[in-house]
């Protein structure tokens, strides 16, 4: 495959179809993207598989931190089973200790249960105090890639950190920048980073059509919708990145 792979995160059936139609190379399947993504429903997983492109399901049972206990682990194992049963290509995992370090023991249980599926480490990584240690843990556990904003709110704000991560990874595991990546911001990354894949929602903002939905608390306000034109534009931009500086 030429150029840089585009992973699109989606949280609805129409977004899934739009991303596939527009040529996304891989899908991260979620629910509740406004809180960073939660586990998609079994119905959405079933709709996504077997897919024409690889689909990885987010395995995150609740919003908030990534410090998980036994009941969380039980739910996550069942969600991994649902992703496997749906014929999806992989899962997106993460777990933290209270100090922000990766919870290697919890992740070993999760990755072991996900044997045979592809593995992405999600942005729990952005909380770690020791980047090198976290990369070693991720590689040891068999993760294919780390989705990261470089510890910042958005990846374009942390190009120097992302460059350091790529250097630390040394080709052993892919560093996939994500958060805040659009056609307008990708140029902050492409000339400087030796990346093979990026992560984006490729979404546009839509106002809530019925103010009663907001008033009743069914929606928080504007909705973001995966946009086929945006997917195509970013994919075209990644197909011919500028020479690195």
Q: Is 114 domain-assigned?
A: yes
- 40 pLDDT higher than 60: yes
Task: Pull the structure tokens for residue 157.
Answer: 């704000």
What is the spatial distance between Cα 192 and Cα 213, in angstroms, rounded to a whole number?
A: 44
The answer to whether residues 168 and 134 touch, using CB atoms and an 8 Å cutoff, is no
- 81 pLDDT higher than 50: yes
Q: Note the pLDDT of residue 241.
A: 62
- 244 pLDDT higher than 70: no
The answer to whether residues 7 and 26 touch, using CB atoms and an 8 Å cutoff, is yes
What is the spatial distance between Cα 169 and Cα 150, in angstroms, rounded to a whole number?
A: 13
Domain residue limits at 212:
5-239
Q: Is 154 domain-assigned?
A: yes
Q: Is 72 domain-assigned?
A: yes
Q: Is 245 domain-assigned?
A: no
- Does residue 225 or residue 106 have the better pLDDT? 106
What is the spatial distance between Cα 218 and Cα 207, in angstroms, rounded to a whole number?
A: 14
What is the spatial distance between Cα 175 and Cα 151, in angstroms, rounded to a whole number?
A: 13
Q: Is 208 domain-assigned?
A: yes
Write the pLDDT tens digit of every residue in 200-215: 999 998 776 677 777 7
Write the pLDDT tens digit of every residue in 54-70: 999 999 999 999 999 99
* CATH at 188: 3.20.20.380
The answer to whether residues 104 and 110 touch, using CB atoms and an 8 Å cutoff, is no
Quick check: pTM over 0.75? yes
What is the average pLDDT value for the chain, to the nearest integer? 93
Domain count, the chain: 1
Secondary element (H or E) of residue 106: helix 104-113
Q: Is 181 domain-assigned?
A: yes
Q: Note the pLDDT of residue 1.
A: 40
- Does residue 185 or residue 219 have the better pLDDT? 185
34 Rama sector, left if φ>0, alpha if ψ -120 to 50, beta otherwise = alpha
Q: Is 244 domain-assigned?
A: no
The answer to whether residues 88 and 114 touch, using CB atoms and an 8 Å cutoff, is no
Exposed e or buried b per residue across 76-95, where buried means at least 16 C-beta atoms within 10 angstroms of its C-beta: bbebbebbbebebbbbbbbb
Q: Note the pLDDT of residue 208.
A: 66
Secondary element (H or E) of residue 92: strand 90-93
């Amino acid at each position: 495959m030429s150029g840089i792979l585009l992973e699109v995160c989606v949280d609805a059936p129409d977004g899934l179809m739009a991303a596939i139609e527009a040529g996304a190379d891989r899908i991260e399947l979620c629910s509740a993207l406004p809180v960073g993504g939660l586990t998609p429903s079994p119905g959405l997983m079933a709709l996504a598989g077997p897919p024409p492109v690889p689909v990885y399901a987010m395995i995150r049972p609740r919003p908030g931190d990534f410090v998980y206990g036994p009941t969380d682990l039980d739910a996550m194992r069942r969600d991994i089973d649902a992703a496997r049963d749906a014929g999806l290509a992989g899962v997106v995992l993460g777990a933290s200790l209270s100090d922000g370090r990766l919870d290697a023991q919890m992740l070993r249980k999760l990755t072991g249960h996900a044997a045979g599926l592809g593995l992405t480490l999600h942005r729990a990584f952005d909380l770690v105090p020791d980047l090198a240690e976290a990369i070693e843990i991720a590689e040891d556990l068999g993760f294919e890639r780390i989705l990261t904003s470089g510890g910042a709110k958005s990846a374009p704000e942390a190009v120097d950190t992302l460059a350091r991560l790529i250097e630390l990874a040394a080709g052993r595991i892919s560093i996939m920048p994500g958060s805040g990546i659009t056609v307008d911001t990708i140029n902050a990354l492409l000339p400087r980073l030796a990346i093979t894949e990026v992560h984006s929602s490729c979404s546009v903002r839509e106002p809530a059509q019925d103010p009663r939905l907001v008033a009743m608390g069914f929606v928080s306000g504007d909705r973001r919708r995966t946009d086929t034109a945006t997917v195509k534009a970013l994919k075209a931009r990644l197909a011919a990145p500028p020479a690195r500086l």
